[in-house]
Structure 1
């Protein structure tokens, strides 16, 4: 059975800083890319040929997957299995900082 996208709310809320979050993710075997989007940033529907794990450090971002909206906020992690078609949008008034993790 194919894995579905899911949000682990507050999974990394115990991390005090982005560096601490990065160290924890690295210890779990992830390759990590830091990213930031300003208010209004939008990514049209797309997919990837690898699994992605999005971990938000500050702010919030909305992902649209299979007609369902996932609000991902600071400390949350979004699991996007390979091939999952998704769109993303920063609907907030502040930037969102997050890490794009693959393994």
Structure 2
């Protein structure tokens, strides 16, 4: 099991050129409709569970999982259980 601290993840992301780094929380049942970003976006799950769908693939994320969503990738997200995750973006 990954026991990395939030501060360690943030430091690693900064070293990789990520910006706008923050911890986000969502309640079970939250839904983010289909959308895209003009930048690469990463999610690092700290707790909970979510599903992210792209046009070609489905991802089920839980504690310790990391997902990079490339710039321009159309996606949607469902929060399966109360979740907390790190978000960051990189151009």
- Give RMSD over aligned pairs: 1.7
Gaps of 5+ in 2: none
Checking the alignment, whether the CA contact within 8 Å between 2:33 and 2:77 is kept in structure 1 is: yes
Structure 1 residue aligned with 2:84: 97
State the alpha-carbon separation in 2 of the partners of residues 86 and 38 from structure 1: 19
Task: Give 1 or 2: higher strand fraction.
Answer: 2
Q: CA deviation at 1:25?
A: 2.1
Q: What is the TM-score normalised by the length of structure 2?
A: 0.85
- 1:28 corresponds to 2:16: yes
State the alpha-carbon separation in 2 of the partners of residues 82 and 67 from structure 1: 15
Gaps of 5+ in 1: 1-9
| Runs of 4 or more above 4 Å deviation | none
